[in-house]
Structure 1
Amino acid sequence: MKVLRRKEEPSLDSRLAALLEAAELGEGRVSEQAVTGARAVAERAGVRRELSIDHTVAALAGATGSGKSSLYNALAGQDLADVGVTRPTTSTAQAALWDGEGAGPLLDWLDIPRRHSAADDPGLSGLVLLDLPDHDSIRLSHRLEVDRLVEQVDLLVWVVDPQKYADAALHERYLRPLAGHRDVMVVVLNQVDRLPSDAVDRCLGDLRRLLDDDGLPGIPVLAVSARTGRGLDELRALLGERVSERKSWSARLAADITAAAEHLAAAGPAQPVDGDRSPQAVDGRASGGGKRLGGAERALTGALCAAAGVPTVVEAVAKGHRHRAVVATGWPVTRWVRRFRPDPLRRLRLGGSSPSGRAQREIVGRTSVPAASAVQRAQVETAVRDVGEVAAAGMPGAWAAAVRQAARSRAPELADAVDRAVATTSAVGTRRPRWWRAVNVVQWAVFAAMLAGALWLGVLFGMDYLRLPQPPLPTVGMVPWPTVLLVGGVLAGVLIALLSRLAAWAGGRRRARRTSRALRASIGRVGEELVLEPVEAELDTYARFKEAVDLARAHA
């Protein structure tokens, strides 16, 4: 029988590394505030792990008049903090230490200069208890000090009183944003000695309802009186339990990493993109990453082909093939006339030939293919935008904007790249067939025979004119050989030229079809390199970002 093992949760180190990776991948794509916050959490976690993990830093935080300092003194077993009527009483944070040996570097990092030794209590050994200024103090420096330490301490003990436990400043500014930190928070209802017993229960019930609304169900809530000592033993026991576990520091870091990862996942774009439409994803998962861009890719290739004048080039290839075939295989007596006609490919600066007759491999300058019209340029822009839209469908707003921007990132290079592709592909598609050379040899042989027959007849005519005796004249049947050579050469040359022209016409059609396919494939590769690859790279980046975020916010 197999024993089902629980899947191991990721370690704090792996989650921290994932958070840093997510921050790096999200830089320039999501808001700088989210990226900076994630890096700050990672830096803070790294420092905290290097300091004493045998000490747990707990902070008493609360509003003016909640009795934090009185509770601080009661827990410490001596009057360490000033308690008075004047508000605020606590101006800077101070620490009470139970067995504080080795806690110096930790308190230096927290920047707590005022340090006291608390009354001996073996159950609290390793506890560092901070008394914070009032979070609602009229002095800005006090509020900033509270905010700084709330981000750094291992355990937060929120001290409230029966009059201000529902204060919106506490719930909206601290408790609700820290809902993910409920494992490292405790709420203490102080000064319950001022209430009747039934009123204490009502206050506790109402306080729990407010905490549930803040997203903090199940968080420990204790009723305490620093003046009478009610509830202090329960609070000491809870603090002692957290200190003995030595896990509050790691739980706090884990909660910070989760919160930073959540912030990264929900962060908006680094900067707004003009004219950008950002569809909102229901659960933040991208459907564009695994989606095939086949339709958008074909539309992009078609638009680029139209803008590049592929139909014009294909027609020029067919006509150019026939033109060059006539020049290469036509009857030598008349083929020179064809040279006065313009070569359709040369007019477009395509398929140029070197003196050796081989297609030039190096393309210099732009072709003379007619420039794309305004409508064709608009179609290309639309096709590029559609690629981005299809790829970005279902992605979170920040990443959808990044994908659409990636689709347009190299659009200015499209015109030149497509022109080079047309020039290169058409040059390769205009190579001379080998049979042209063979036919050309035959044509010149036939022309030589025709010329020989003409010269032979010319000599015979001259001898007859001079009344010279005629030499014996060989014949083919009844026809003299000079006549056979002359007439046969003319007829053979014309017939070969006609057959070659017919073959060139069929070859031109085949060459045009092959060139059309080659041009479409070549232009498709340009679209893939300049449009699809940046989009796919961005989709890959998002996939790695999402994987890193999911790992970072996993519960350890």
Structure 2
Amino acid sequence: MKLLRREKAVSLDDRLAALARAADLADGRLDAETVAVARSVVSRAGVRASLSVDHTVVALAGATGSGKSSLFNLLSGTSLATVGVTRPTTSTAQAALWEGGGAGPLLDWLGVPRRHELLDTSGSAGVAPGVSETPAPGLVPDAPVPAGQPSGMDGEAAGLILLDLPDHDSIEPSHRLEVDRLVELVDLLVWVLDPQKYADAAVHDRYLRPLARHREVMVVVLNQIDRLSPAAAERCLKDLRRLLDADGLAGVPVIGVSARTGAGVPELRSLLASRVAGRRSWAARLAADTGMAADVLGEASSTTTPGENLSMDALVKPLGDALSEAAGVPTVVEAVARSHRHRSVAATGWPPTRWIRRLRPDPLRRLRLDAGSRASGEQGDIVGRTSIPVATVVQRSRMDNAIREAARGASAGLPAPWTTAVRQAARSHEDELEDGLDRAVATTSLGAARRPLWWRLAGLAQWLALATVLAGGAWLLALLAIDYLRLPQLYLPTAGELPWPTTLLIGGVLLGLLIALLSRVASWLGGRRRARRAARALRASVDQVARELVLDPMEEELARYHRFAEAVTLARNGTRR
């Protein structure tokens, strides 16, 4: 029975590290703005985690006339927010703090200019510890809430920082920009809607739907339900629930309230108090930001599980064929065979005519491939370029096509940005390819330096044949001289009907021709064997160049993509297998 591997939850730090890793891996592959978004989330998370985690920043956001400022006053038990209906009355964000000691750096980071420390249950008041009485440039801390106006939540939410944001649909662009900025930073978002505009596409399309990842740190409030009958209010709440589900916000709390009558406010207070008491909204917010940034990276790269990619071993042969032809390997292989035959004839040919063979250039030396020192390049010696003819236009075209096909095969099933990256990686060393192939051929040991033993035996036999010819010739010359001088004839042995001098002369010549003929046949066969060995050695060298300069960069890019996809999955889902 096959056991399923259980997914293991990972920490927020691990998810952020995975997001940072994914951003680094995507650098140069995906759009720079997309990568910057992911890096900004990592940077923002690091700053937020270093600030006060004992405080929870809750923002009331809504449209003009939705009643969020009235709700802010009701929750804080103050009249700090100016209430209006037909025009934006909140121009800058302001904060109400419940036991805000140590919240100064957090509010500085948020850039909230107005800060109000609320009275505790004993009636004491003061500016929050850590928030300077002297305002920083652009920051204006207000006076404490006067006695007699206790917080609407009292001690239920110690550590709560409640923000009243400008209207997101304000006619002032700066107000909208301020809302967008703080919506990205706060720990918990409370969207205040009203019965007239709760279905407005502006809030759903611009904020709610894009924040579907932030379900755990979002609350939706339908304010002004006192203007509706109970049945109508129920219908509005159900319709709002339907719209939120369609936005991907299933499970987000929806509370109907009335800032005028106080209906539903205790439920909202209880919910906020529980979230603040948990001290985990900031982490949930960062986790949601991490998941959303990972979604952006995944969507930008269309991260999918690629199909079956061709293995690099399968790509070596067609690529090596084209590179071998461009590198002149067939020319070198033919030269090895001809060089072997050339040297064989020079070693086993008829001694008096060998010098004629030595006048002809060795085919390998003509290509500047010295068979006796081909391995020297592997020991660090400088190896010059060979004289192998440069690749023709047709050979270059075939090589380009082979590289392109190799990249296509390696990147099959990858998203478009990474397909492009793999293709670029395949050509990243294109300028080095020609020199690399030439060096590979120049430093490959072709095995042509070794002299077969039979060359020496055949050469010795040729010298013996020549000695026989010379002996027979000298004997005949001696007989001719004796006859010319009319000297007494010497005994002349015979081999059958032929005298021995003639037998030695003719036999030596025939033996030399036979040895030469057999040597030619043996050298032709030996040349073929050496050519095959040289072809294998050269092909191995060319394949090595293909791997180092074409396939390895592609493989590194593929490995980079798989690491990226793994990091995105970890950052997005928070689980690892």
The TM-score with structure 2 as length reference comes to 0.85
CA contact (8 A) 1:457 1:483 kept: yes
Q: Take 1:427 and 1:295, find their aligned partners in 2: how far apart are those partners?
A: 26
Partner of 2:181: 148
Does the residue aligned with 1:186 lie in a helix, a strand or coil?
strand
One-letter amino acid of the structure 2 residue matched with residue 11 of structure 1? S
Q: Take 2:236 and 2:207, find their aligned partners in 1: how far apart are those partners?
A: 20
**CA distance 1:138–1:433, shift in 2 (3 Å):** farther
CA contact (8 A) 2:64 2:85 kept: no
* Superposed CA offset, 1:185-229 (max 9, x none): 001111222222222112112211111111111211111111111
CA contact (8 A) 2:472 2:502 kept: yes
CA contact (8 A) 1:453 1:486 kept: yes
One-letter amino acid of the structure 2 residue matched with residue 204 of structure 1? L
Residue correspondence of structure 1 range 288-307 to structure 2 within 5 A: 288=308, 291-307=310-326
One-letter amino acid of the structure 2 residue matched with residue 40 of structure 1? S
Does the residue aligned with 2:192 lie in a helix, a strand or coil?
strand
CA contact (8 A) 1:69 1:81 kept: yes
For structure 2, list consecutive stretches of 5 or more residues without a partner in the other structure: 121-153
Task: Confirm or deny that 1:312 pairs with 2:354.
Answer: no
Does the residue aligned with 1:339 lie in a helix, a strand or coil?
helix
Deviation at 1:375, TM superposition (A): 3.1
* Aligned mate of 1:352, from 346, 353, 370: 370
* Aligned mate of 2:213, from 168, 172, 180: 180
One-letter amino acid of the structure 2 residue matched with residue 110 of structure 1? L
Deviation at 1:496, TM superposition (A): 2.1
Partner of 1:49: 49
Q: Which moved more, 1:522-531 or 1:336-345?
A: 336-345
CA contact (8 A) 1:288 1:395 kept: no
Task: Confirm or deny that 1:208 pairs with 2:241.
Answer: yes
One-letter amino acid of the structure 1 residue matched with residue 288 of structure 2? A
CA contact (8 A) 1:62 1:158 kept: yes
Task: Confirm or deny that 1:257 pairs with 2:290.
Answer: yes
Partner of 2:304: 284
* Aligned mate of 1:240, from 273, 276, 286: 273
Q: Take 1:103 and 1:432, find their aligned partners in 2: how far apart are those partners?
A: 89
Does the residue aligned with 2:352 lie in a helix, a strand or coil?
coil
**What is the aligned-residue RMSD (CA, Å)?**
2.8
Residue correspondence of structure 1 range 350-429 to structure 2 within 5 A: 350-352=368-370, 361-362=376-377, 364-425=383-444, 427-429=446-448
Count of matched residue pairs: 535
One-letter amino acid of the structure 1 residue matched with residue 304 of structure 2? G
Q: Take 2:235 and 2:119, find their aligned partners in 1: how far apart are those partners?
A: 34
Task: Confirm or deny that 1:524 pairs with 2:543.
Answer: yes
Task: Confirm or deny that 1:122 pairs with 2:155.
Answer: yes
For structure 1, list consecutive stretches of 5 or more residues without a partner in the other structure: 269-280
Task: Confirm or deny that 1:166 pairs with 2:199.
Answer: yes
Deviation at 1:443, TM superposition (A): 3.0
CA contact (8 A) 2:11 2:574 kept: no
**CA distance 1:359–1:205, shift in 2 (3 Å):** closer
Q: Take 2:375 and 2:49, find their aligned partners in 1: how far apart are those partners?
A: 67
CA contact (8 A) 2:446 2:533 kept: no
Deviation at 1:255, TM superposition (A): 0.6
Deviation at 1:369, TM superposition (A): 3.6
Deviation at 1:162, TM superposition (A): 1.3
One-letter amino acid of the structure 2 residue matched with residue 439 of structure 1? A
Task: Confirm or deny that 1:199 pairs with 2:217.
Answer: no
Does the residue aligned with 2:307 lie in a helix, a strand or coil?
coil
* Superposed CA offset, 1:286-334 (max 9, x none): 2255x42454432212222333343333333222221221112101122
Q: Take 2:375 and 2:504, find their aligned partners in 1: how far apart are those partners?
A: 40
CA contact (8 A) 1:288 1:392 kept: no
One-letter amino acid of the structure 2 residue matched with residue 504 of structure 1? S
Deviation at 1:94, TM superposition (A): 1.0
Deviation at 1:436, TM superposition (A): 2.3
Q: Which moved more, 1:151-160 or 1:492-501?
A: 492-501
Deviation at 1:438, TM superposition (A): 4.1
Deviation at 1:144, TM superposition (A): 1.5
Q: Take 2:9 and 2:496, find their aligned partners in 1: how far apart are those partners?
A: 105
One-letter amino acid of the structure 2 residue matched with residue 351 of structure 1? L
Q: Take 2:491 and 2:192, find their aligned partners in 1: how far apart are those partners?
A: 138
Deviation at 1:86, TM superposition (A): 6.6
Does the residue aligned with 2:52 lie in a helix, a strand or coil?
coil
Partner of 2:92: 92
**CA distance 1:383–1:443, shift in 2 (3 Å):** same
Q: Which moved more, 1:510-519 or 1:64-73?
A: 510-519
Deviation at 1:57, TM superposition (A): 0.6
Partner of 1:548: 567
* Aligned mate of 1:229, from 254, 262, 265: 262
Deviation at 1:150, TM superposition (A): 0.7
**CA distance 1:338–1:528, shift in 2 (3 Å):** same
Q: Take 1:188 and 1:442, find their aligned partners in 2: how far apart are those partners?
A: 110
CA contact (8 A) 2:64 2:86 kept: no
Does the residue aligned with 1:311 lie in a helix, a strand or coil?
helix
Does the residue aligned with 2:66 lie in a helix, a strand or coil?
coil
The TM-score with structure 1 as length reference comes to 0.88
* Superposed CA offset, 1:114-159 (max 9, x none): 1112343121111111111111222222112111111111100011
Partner of 2:141: none
Q: Take 2:225 and 2:70, find their aligned partners in 1: how far apart are those partners?
A: 13
Deviation at 1:12, TM superposition (A): 0.9
Q: Percent identical across equivalent pairs?
A: 63
Partner of 2:32: 32
Q: Take 2:198 and 2:506, find their aligned partners in 1: how far apart are those partners?
A: 120
